[in-house]
Every structure is written in C-alpha cells, then in structure tokens.
Chain A
Amino acid sequence: MQTLEYTAPKTLKDAITLLAQKGDAARPLAGGTDVLVQLRVGRRPQVNTLVDLKNIPELTRLSYDPREGLYLGAAVACCHVYEDATVRRMYPGLIDAAELIGSVQIQGRASVGGNVCNAAPSGDTIPALIALSATCSIAGPNGTRSVPMEQFCTAPGRNLLQNGEILVAVRIPAPAPNSGAAYLRFIPRNEMDIAVAGVGASVVLDSAKQRITSARVALASVAPTPLFVTAAGQALAGKAVTDEAAIQAAADAAVAAARPITDMRGTIEFRKQLVGVLTRRTLHIAIQRARGA
C-alpha cells in the first residue's frame, strides 16, 4: 500500500474543503471495508489521503420521523441500521440488505453510504434502496443537492459525485400504508459472497390489501450499475396480490432488462435465470410483508 495521510475533520465544511483541494488524491473513509482493500491491491494508486468522515455529525446520525422518513447518515455502520428497532420495523427491505453485507465483523464497520458510494454493480443495499425510493443527500463546494438513488451510480465503481462532493445521507420516505419491501440475493455459499444476482422490490397495496397499487423492482450484479426496472413495477400495478401471472410478467421484465456479463461468479444465462427466480421470490416476500402476514 502506498504512503498515506490520514485526517478526520469534525465538520462537513472542513471535509468538503479538504476533498475539493485534494481532488482524486483524497478518498473518503467511512467503514473502510472496501477502500482499504482497494488500496492494498493497488486499485487506487492516485490516493494519498484518507478523509475519515466518522467524526462528522451529519454523517453519523440515524433518525426516523413519520413525516420525513429515515435519515441515514452515510457513515452509519450496517450494524447500527439493523440493530435499530424502528428501522427494523419500518424498513425490513433495507434490513435484508444490511444484514447481508459481509460478515458480522464487516457489518460492524461497513456503512450503507459506503456501499452506495462504492457503486459496485453488486452492492446489496443499492437495489434495496432504489426499491424504497431512497434519495441521496449530497453536499459539496457549490451547496447541496438531492438525487434519486437509481441515478447515483454511473458505472462500475463510479458515481455522480463531483470533486469535493460528499454523500451526506441516504433518505428514505416513510413507508406508505400497506406497503412492503424485500431484498434477496443469490450467492453460492450461505454467507460471505458477492451477489451473483440480487433483487430488491417494494409494493404498495390498496387499503383492502388485495391489489397492488404500485411496485418498484431493482437489480444487482446484472448490469454495469444497479438497475431500476420500471417495466417490472408497471407489470404489477393494478394487479391482484395473488396474480402469479403478473408476478411472472414482472420477473420476465426484470430478465429482459438485465444485461449481465459472464465472469467467474456466473454466466449470462445463469444470472438471467437467477434474476427471474429472485424477482418472483422477492415480490412474494414484499407482498407478504405488505399484507402484514
């Protein structure tokens, strides 16, 4: 690993100034579970400074408000997310993903914000967050902005943050009544792997919990970025919760949208098959949760 400087600013402003000054030579550090490995294997040779964001209040806050929804500071570790009783109750779809990232050890460090910024096609929280209509709160030298989660990742390992910009928080709207969400991924082992394919889904049901009012489906590991498949949601709108044909249609739409590659983790055919299976399974869980079963 190259020589590094380490700095831990206490305010957002200082962090932004520092990152803006250093440009590509600086890299934010939250849990470090991705960036330290990348530095060690030589994948970030330009970096000479790590900017630890864990002392900045805006990035370490986790709070829920019935009107504003969830404020999830970008440096909050996964374990704090899934150990929070409110988040567990309100956002089981996010919990599914937060509990899947690495081992319990990793979850003690890795942040949801870091998983998002790492922008891996396989990042487990990203499809879960897209399904939950999450937005990214970004602050930078030119002020703040908010971006829908599905627009945040731009290419494998790349996101739309500009020089000096920081992902401050992920915000998730308060769940609609009669809604439910879930995230499932496929890995060859039962733990510790990178998703061969992953599917996040959310549904909103009518007040009788008989019909799907709207649905969102997003995929991991089958495109250069996590993929929001609007066609899958459309296939479900207005359909009965028991309409297996509609769920299959949503799965087919997900398969059609997937454009995976063949690599050591799986072939194109295998990944497409998995997307179909996981979309069905994830939707079943989301519907079940929405129905309160």
Chain B
Amino acid sequence: MTTTAPAPEYSVIGTRPIRHDGLDKVIGRAKYAADIQMAGLLSAKILRSPHPHARIKSIDTSKAAALPGVRAVITAADIPAVASDRMQDLGETAVRLRFLSSNVLAGNKVLYKGQAVAAVAATSAHIAEEALSLIKVDYEVLPPALNVLDAMKDGAPLLHEDMLMQEFGQRTTKHSNIANHFRFKKGEPADGFKQADVVVEREFNTAAVHQGYIEPHAATANWNVDGKLTIWCSTQGSFNVRSQVATLLKIPESNVKVIPTEIGGGFGGKLGVYLEPVVALLAKKTGHPVKAIMSRTEVFEGTGPTPGSYMKVKMGANKEGRITAAEVSLMFEAGAFPGSPVNAGAMCALACYNLDNAQVDGYDVVVNKQKTAAYRAPGATHAAMAVESVVDELCENLKMDPIDFRILNGVKQGDRRVDGPAFGKVGFMEVLQAAKNHPHWKTPLTGKNRGRGFAAGFWFNAGGPASCYIAMNPDGTVSLIEGAADIGGTRAAIAMQAAEVLGIPADKVTPTVVDTDSIGYTSLTGGSSVAFKGGLAAYEAAQDLKKQLIERAAKIWETTADNVEFEKGEFKLKPSYERKMTFTELAGRLLTTGGPLAGRASVDARGVGPAFAAVIADVEVDPETGKTQVLRATIVQDAGKAIHPSYVEGQMQGGVAQGIGWALNEEYFFTNQGTMANPTFLDYRMPTALDLPMIDTVIVEVANPGHPFGVRGVGEVPIVPPPAAVANAMKRAIGVRMTDLPMSPGAVLAAIQAKGNGKR
C-alpha cells in the first residue's frame, strides 16, 4: 500500500476516514434491492427461453393464470408497442429501443437461451415459479449463430432479418449479422511496416465473461391509481432506469420515481433495465406492489456478460525499439442485439502508444447469446490482451526491457490517438517510471516454471451531469444529498470533497444518495465518473454554501462579505481578525439571523482526465497440469488525486482480481446447442480468497487540470492490463505464448504439449 505523501495543502483529501455508509453494512442493516418489504407485496418470476434462436408462434398463459395464488401473467404483448429505432442510452453503451424492449420481454423471436418471455406475479415466489411451468410457449426452433466468426459468414442464420450492415458510417444494402464495421486510421500502416525490423502478428480469442456482482438483479414496483409509479431497484443509474422505464411503458418520466437501494456490485452490468419494466407492468395489472429477484442462473443466462471476441494484431518496430506501424482488427460478439463495446475497445487498443502509422478495424456482430453489457473499461481489456501481448513479443524479439520499450513509445501530452483526439495532461510516463522503480520490478524472480509479466492499459474515463445539495444543520454538521449510486465508497469521496471546501472533518458531512424526485439529474455510476463529477458538484455546492455563510457572517458583523475571511473552519473579520466565529457557532445562529442556508450545484463535468495503469504479475505454472498460480501482483495507476486512498486502492485491487479471473478461469462455456453449461458460481470460476495474493498498489498522482482537486476516474482502468500481464508472465515461465482467454489449465497444458511437438 504505497501512496505518495498526503498533500500538505489539504486537510481532508488524501486521508482515510471511515466511510459514512460503512456501519450499516457491517451490521447487516443496509437495505439492498432484495431487502425491500412492504404490505401486500407479490413475488414475480420470469419464464425464459430454452432455445438460443426460435420464433415464438404462440404463448398460452391461461393455465398459469388459473393457478391459485397467481395474480397476473404478462408477455411482450403487455408492453406498449415500441417499434422505435430510436437509440436508448445505457450509459457506457446504447441500444435501439425495440431491442431493449425485446430484451425485457421477447416479442416474436427469442435470440438467446435465457431471454425473458413471460412473467408471473403471485402471492409467493414458489407459486410464481410453479406457474411458469404451466405457461405453454410454442416455438419454431431456428438454427443459431453462436460465435463471432461463424455469424459473420455469408449464409449464417440471421438474427435480425431486417438489419442492414453499417460500414464506414454508411448504411449498406447488405443483410448481415455484422451490425457495424468501422475503421480508425492514422498515417499509412503499409509504409510503417516497410520501416520495421521486426514484425509480430497474432490472433486472439476471448470467451464471454460476466461482471459477476454478488447481488443478483432485483426490483420492486408500486403503481398507484393516480398513475404514479415507484421503483426500488439495484441500479448504477436511477435516472437511466427512470427514462428507460418511462420510454418503454410510454408514460411521462415525471410519473416515475426510482428509489435506488444499496447496490451489491455492478461493474457496468446494472446500467440497462431487465426486471424494472416487468415488475412495473405486473404492479399495474395486479394493483399490488410486486418484487422480482433473479436467481444466480438467471443473472448468468439473462443479463449481459462482456463479449467474446476474435482479434488480430500486427505490429512492427525498428531496431531502436520504435513502433513503426500497427494494425488491429477487433470482432466482438454483441450478443442478441447490436451494441458491443467494440468502439471503446478500438479507441483504447493502441491508446498507450504514440504511433504515426496505425489502423484499427472494429466489427459489432450479433450472435445468439446474451445481449452484452458494459463491464469495467468495456472493450479495453480485450484489446489490451491482444496489443500488450504483441508488444511483449516485440520486446522479446528486440531484447528490450518491456518498461523501457513503453517509455520509448508511450504517449505524452499532445500526442494523438489513432481515432483522433489529442491527449491533455496524462500520467503514463509517471506510471511507467513508478513501475520501473518498484521493488517488485527490481527484485529478480527465481524458481522453476516461474515468470514475470508486464502490461499497460488505458481508459478514457467519463464525466457528465451531476447534482448536489448541501444543507447546514444547527450543530455545525451538513447534510449532503446526491444522486449517483455508490458501489464502492463514492459517498465518502464526495463528502470529503465538500468537507475540504467547508473546512470541516469528513465525519461532519452526512452524505445520502436519494431518489430521482429528490435531487437534480445525475448521470450514472459508470465511466469511473462519480468521484470526479459528483465531487465537482459537491465542490461547487460547498462553494455556494461557503459564499452564503460568509455573507451571513458579514450580516451578523454588520459589514460586507469582502471583509470576512474563512479559513480552516473559522470566519474572521478583517482587518484585525479579532472577531471570530467557528463554523459550528455560525451554524447555530443561522435560524435567528435570517434563516437556514443550503448550497446547491448542478454541473456537467467535462474536464475528464483519462487514466493509465500498469501491472506487474509473477506466475508459476505447473507444467504437468497447466495450472497457473499468480504469486505476486502490483498495480501502478494514475489517480490524478486520490480523495480516499483506501478506496482508490480497493478499486485497483478489485480490478486486478477481476482481470486475473478473466485471464485464468472465467468463461461462458457454451454447448454446441448454444446453452451456457456453467451458469452457477460453482462452475463459473471467479477467484476465491485462496486464488489470489495480496495485491500491491502504487497510486501515482498527476493532477487532472479539469477538476479542482485533480481527480481522475479510477474504477475501470485496473482491469485492463492484468490478462496480458499474466499471459506475458506465462510466456516467460513456460515458453508458451497463450493467445486465448481464459488461459485455463487444460488450454495451457495443450499449448505446452503442442510446443513439445513443435507446433508452436
């Protein structure tokens, strides 16, 4: 846990107070979506498609509706007709409205096994489940397109018969599962390859992996006779739920109040709606509040993983170690509906390197699998697995140190990405230097079948609208309300930024995340944006409050505001500074000197600071079984300014852990029939405590000029480098370059044996 010394100019920022919402969470009192209880509550269950691709000929719900205890059964026919091609923003991805609708309840076709087809509300979850077996759906089973390369072929079964391929920004006349093909190009790669002394070209495949939040999706709805709909749910964006539900159900947004509960993890997977419109419709139909909770298997089969992919990377470098050209092709499985994160992946793929000649092609391809959703730096981890592996191989061929090579080629302020934008102030060089100086990198690794790998990663980060109100309490504390779901300690980070401005300790701020009726619009918890944009809103609201407090002090002292100075929680009258009032004293006098005070701000935070990270990983591979153990892992990351370093470290460690899981054992294992064979935590193998080492962190702080305290987003980039770092380590451990994820024991052993047979 290395951090740079706390900046002396701050008294709250950079410290490690106990998070405000922590107590309720360690005593079991925090309310998550499944914990909502109320009188008259009904339970809902969802019937899901057993086929990956089929036409729904008819649905007979009469028997289910007749089961004692069943109160309502609904199908897609109950969703107000939404045939719109309008794009619905899901935060980190977007989807056409009619696709969103059919992902909530399938219309005339099912496009993956696990797609919702009908829903039942009953007096108990067990009865609702029994009723599902009484719904008769007549399917015409169709041949599925199950992986990206097969789905791209001419003659592949088409998921959307009316979908025309988009290519280079133009709609073509071609019916295809390729929803979109785009290209970013800078310079002329063909010329660049001519200047190369070494060229490496590799193909990569990655399996779909799930975000794996421990809390299954859950939602409760109540629909009053006056048309007011209230939804309690676990979401990364309550305002997004509000707009998605209102649009799908064709009701005014102002009629929908979304109450975000505590959220048990999201990682991008809780941006789009699944259950919310369903429980709303059931609540309307029954006149009762209705709650639905997904099972773990429903979470795996019915919600978004991140795509499986096929990728091709070719890079060339000269003897001096400069990259002369790069060509990348990314083909991502969008799942049942277009909208994979291939665009983000394509923009991130080469973002670490300053290149003159480079090209990235991206393909968004629909397949008969779950509609994919964002997952922590969506698309970037796939691309980094491919690019950072090839960069590592260039280093091997050139006999160059992997960090020195990246220092030579890495981006600095002013350099342009392949997709156009130029970098502002970024900390990639500082990250690389810190990694190079770290004891982990400097200490030689010894032992048989062991190897050390290095990889870097980039993520843009995001900003956006956020709102914050801060009300003074008579005892000198403040109540802060905001609208962004807090998944990992952002209430604390936002409260600390307000506390810094107000000159009070963090525990004098009581932060609360409130519902959509109680705060101005706040965009979602995604894009590593909350500490940045929510922090900016809190900063501005605190400044607004501070200004009013100074004015009030001036009024009390019968002077003007410019004669009052506020420093370290104390108001002083200039020029003598003999008259003073503490923050608490002034708070106690507000009601008798003109009334209560509150600060407020609504911002659109645009000064986003992108993030770079690097991971050093040591592995040991058992050459007889192919099993890999990560012995040691260190992550170095530019956080801009770490508001609460413990929670920044937590993001870094969590990202590395997910990246290691992705690298080694996590995968959607599909049967030839398109069924996920492992939809349980037993067989979908996320790392346990026994699978990981302590994860060392180094926070680098290159302040983001776009934020008053220099904050950059920290949540996403740490997942980007680990799979490549592990693959690079395995190469050094056993001499085999793994190109497919996961690098599970069976695959590693097969690769070792193939190499023994001279095949690799």
On A, residues with C-beta under 8 Å from B are 1-3, 41, 186, 188-194, 196, 263-267, 269-270, 273-274, 277
Contact = CB atoms under 8 A, between A and B. Distances in A.
Nearest to B745: A188
Contact of B685 (A41, A189, A269): A189
Contacts of A190: 629, 688, 690-691
B683 A264 contact: yes
- Among all A-B residue pairs, the 9 with the closest Cβ atoms: A264-B669, A270-B746, A190-B690, A264-B677, A277-B624, A191-B690, A188-B665, A191-B688, A189-B685
Contacts of A265: 683
Contacts of B319: none
A264 B678 contact: yes
A190 to B, nearest CB: 4
B685 A186 contact: no
Given A1-B126, A188-B664, A270-B746, A277 B687 contact: no
Contacts of B682: 192-194
Contacts of B690: 189-191
B744 interface: yes
B750 interface: yes
Given A189-B665, A270-B750, 14 more contacts: A1-B126, A41-B297, A186-B627, A188-B627, A188-B685, A191-B691, A192-B681, A193-B685, A196-B746, A263-B677, A265-B683, A267-B746, A270-B746, A270-B749
Contacts of A264: 669, 677-678, 683
Interface string B121-149: 00000100110000000000000000000
Given A189-B665, A190-B690, A266 B627 contact: no
A191 B665 CA distance: 13
A188 B744 contact: yes
A265 B687 CA distance: 16
Nearest to B667: A264
Given A188-B665, A189-B691, A277 B685 contact: no
Interface residues of B, number: 27
B37 interface: no
B673 interface: no
11 contacts: A189-B685, A189-B687, A189-B688, A193-B682, A194-B682, A264-B669, A264-B678, A265-B683, A270-B626, A273-B625, A277-B624
B742 to A, nearest CB: 9
Interface in B645-689: 664-665, 669, 677-678, 681-683, 685, 687-688
Contacts of B665: 188-189
Interface string B99-122: 000000000000000000000000
Contacts, number: 58
A190 B620 CA distance: 14
Which of A188, A196, A269, A274: most chain B CB closer than 10 A? A188
Interface in B606-627: 624-627
Contacts of A192: 681-682, 685, 688
B289 to A, nearest CB: 24
Contacts of B691: 189-191
Contacts of B681: 192
Contacts of B629: 190
Contacts of A266: 746
B69 to A, nearest CB: 12
Given A266-B746, A267-B746, A277 B625 contact: yes
Contacts of A196: 745-746
B133 to A, nearest CB: 9
A269 B757 CA distance: 15
B351 to A, nearest CB: 32
A123 to B, nearest CB: 14
A196 B683 CA distance: 11
A273 B690 CA distance: 25
A265 B678 CA distance: 9
Contacts of B664: 188
A203 to B, nearest CB: 21
Nearest to B129: A1
B683 A194 contact: yes
Contacts of A273: 624-625, 749
Nearest to B671: A264
Contacts of B130: 2
B166 to A, nearest CB: 35
A179 to B, nearest CB: 27
Given A191-B688, A270-B750, A186 B678 contact: no
Nearest to A267: B746
Contacts of B745: 186, 188, 196, 270
Which of A41, A189, A193, A194: most chain B CB closer than 10 A? A189
Nearest to A42: B133
Contacts of B627: 186, 188
A113 B745 CA distance: 31
A151 B627 CA distance: 33
Interface string B684-711: 0101101100000000000000000000
A3 B749 CA distance: 47
Nearest to A45: B133
Nearest to A186: B625
A267 B669 CA distance: 13
A79 B677 CA distance: 31
Which of B624, B664, B691, B744: most chain A CB closer than 10 A? B624
A211 B197 CA distance: 62
A60 B682 CA distance: 28
Contacts of B687: 189
A4 B314 CA distance: 61
Nearest to A281: B624
Nearest to A276: B624
Nearest to A277: B624
A9 B675 CA distance: 41
Contacts of A188: 627, 664-665, 685, 744-745
Contact of B625 (A194, A269, A274): A274
A190 B626 CA distance: 13
Nearest to A102: B682
A108 B746 CA distance: 32
A186 B688 CA distance: 16
A263 B670 CA distance: 10
B623 to A, nearest CB: 10
Nearest to B661: A189
